[in-house]
Structure 1
Amino acid sequence: MKTARTSPRAKVVAGLFAGIGGLELGFAKAGYHSSILCEIDPVAQHILRAKFPGAEIVGDVKELKTVGACDVLCAGFPCQDLSSSGHKVGINGDRSSLIDEVFRLLESSEARWVVVENVRFMLHLNGGEAMRRVIDGFERLGYNWAYRLINSQAFGVPQRRHRVYFVASKSEDPREVLLSDEGLSEDVDGDDISISDHIGFYWTEGAYASGLSRNAIPPLKSGSTIGIPSPPAIYFPNGMVGTPTIQDAERLQGFEADWTKSAEEVGKPSARWRLLGNSVTVPVSEWLAGRLNDPRPYDSSADKPIGSKWPHAAWSIGGRRYQSNVSDRPVSRVAVDIGNFLLHPAKPLSRRAIDGFLRRANKGNLKFPIGFLEALSQFSKNIAQ
């Protein structure tokens, strides 16, 4: 007599500071199910309800008593106090200090794995104070941990976006998830940018930073130095200067086009840019989830104890802290030129926006590719004609 075959239990994710679901969507693509998503922003909540209909959506993390039974706890905790473009308050700021809520909930959680994400600047801000806060929190609760700086551009999207990813577990070796893969390095961030390339840059800056990126855009952000969420600009080799559409920006984060469209039902269209800038690149989280399903041995024989500064990658087993020499590219995927990636025509940048960038650039001391500022000036003049 044949017996019924029992289907394997779907692995469960609980998401804190879920935003628009970048971490959780990547895990869903790897076979996980989101049980609970905690997000305080009502516009983001609206998107989560539309895209994760089976998940419980809750608000303030401070009022959350438990995340329930889950295999993985994800937390892309607020970065505003840690970002290089923010107020740089640090980990003690009102928003980024919410990482402590993650550790509070972990005290009663049986999650096998923990995945935490935040901005690159936390490695350096206030001497790495935020890194110490996160790592001390894990070790206080008895977790082994590993972290790695990862560039989204390694995953085939033309966005130069570096983020720090932590993986921690009480029972497993996080190195076998986060550090065992190593991709081939590509010279996509080189200094040899020329006006024959597509050049991504922050048109809202110019004096102290510009985010110049060859054949890619710099990181999508939730805000800017002029106080509004806005996409980076792209200089095209034919002299045109414009910004990607929101649909292409969503694709640059690994979402399907119009993933955030439902936000316009409850908020301003500009909210889509803010939420997208705060999100996690989906192919990175999908890779992470895949490694949780299939860990690989990690060779630590060349690793040395961490020095006075936080390296780009490190780990700790049983309280011993070591730095790793892995790169920011755990996979080798073909780099895509932003000009070939876009599916929609870029929106031409206004004369006012270009002239504002040029004023700031001419006052500062940043170096730009030969002919770049002149090409922007010419495009501005063409707009006026």
Structure 2
Amino acid sequence: MIYALSSRLAETALRIRARLGGSRALRQRLGMSPRPEQGDIWVHGASVGELTSARPIIEALASEFRVIVTANSETGRDLVAGWGLPAYLAPLDMPGATTRFLDAVQPRLQVTLEGEFWPLRSRLLAQRRIAQAMIGARISEKSARLWSRFPGLIGPVLERLAAVSAQDPYSEARLIGLGLPRAAVLPRLDLKLLTPAAIMPPESDANRRNMILAASTHQGEEEPILDAWLQARKANPELRLILAIRHPQRGDEVAALIRSRNLAVRRRSEEAEGGDVLLADTLGEMDRWYRRAGLCIVGGSFSDHGGHTPWEPAAYRCAILHGPNIGNFVDAYGALQEAGGARLVGTEALPDVLNELSGDAAAAKAMGRAAREVLLAQAGDPDALIASLRDLAVRAK
């Protein structure tokens, strides 16, 4: 009651502000203009990251239903509009704004991405008997503790959800503990892994087996990688290297490091390729380099940067090597190591490991295969989730 009263008072003040020259974004979030078009399914995501991750799900639903997408940010809204779908700023969690939006859209199903809980929106949807779902749901331990102090707010929101696919088992358990009915739980799905899981990797051949990719390297990492590669190359002269640096503006600095070892360097920024060492000092081409390499050394893990995602090299069936600093992806690397798809390697042991894997094509291939299998298992089955959402939308006719 307090939440509803507070939101109503706040909305009154914001409507006055909007009429006195408020921004177009504020008017849209208050449901004043423009009036959204009608749709079967309303999908909501916070911003660019969430919406990009869920794009395969959104476009699959849009192939069968009229899908309306909202975001909390203008960049998120504009991103989806660029996909050719109707996109708007989401109505604020206020009675008038949400009512006006629902009057216009009249959805059968509302789908929220990842981790947003809006008590008033949930209640107004339930009053209209609009099915509610959440996919890629996640909630941290800290957030769960906070919500547990307000059971009268979070409990009803979770009880009204007809279908929830959590991002991980920890989020799923926390949501159940806060009141999510077990009957609403669907198989887990990590939205961020859908796009890499959909990649079709090339078959292994001699070129891939002899190509090492050092991906997203930082200052201080190129030197030991270059030295390790040079040592391994003594046993395998066919071994080649791609250095894909994290920050292209370091191109001159890294090119000098390569030349200091009496090596010729070819720079992608100069549209040069081939040779023994290719310096990938451009942006937006990582897929190109993963496709060429059979073994990937993930940067950011040998210096204090927390590592970078292992899922992109796993998508391309690369054997994965990484250093000890993987704080940003502890669970991911743990799962890959357990399955034999990744190996923790210190800089001192790197030459021996490169020499071992470059001389044992079967072992490297098995690592790459294991890495991709872990990716597919962690990503989950989007087809099953899409079918569940489709059934909810059809039943609501």
Structure with more contact order per residue of length (Cα contacts < 8 Å, sep ≥ 6): 1
* Bigger radius of gyration among the two: 2
Normalising to structure 2: TM-score of the pair?
0.31
Normalising to structure 1: TM-score of the pair?
0.32
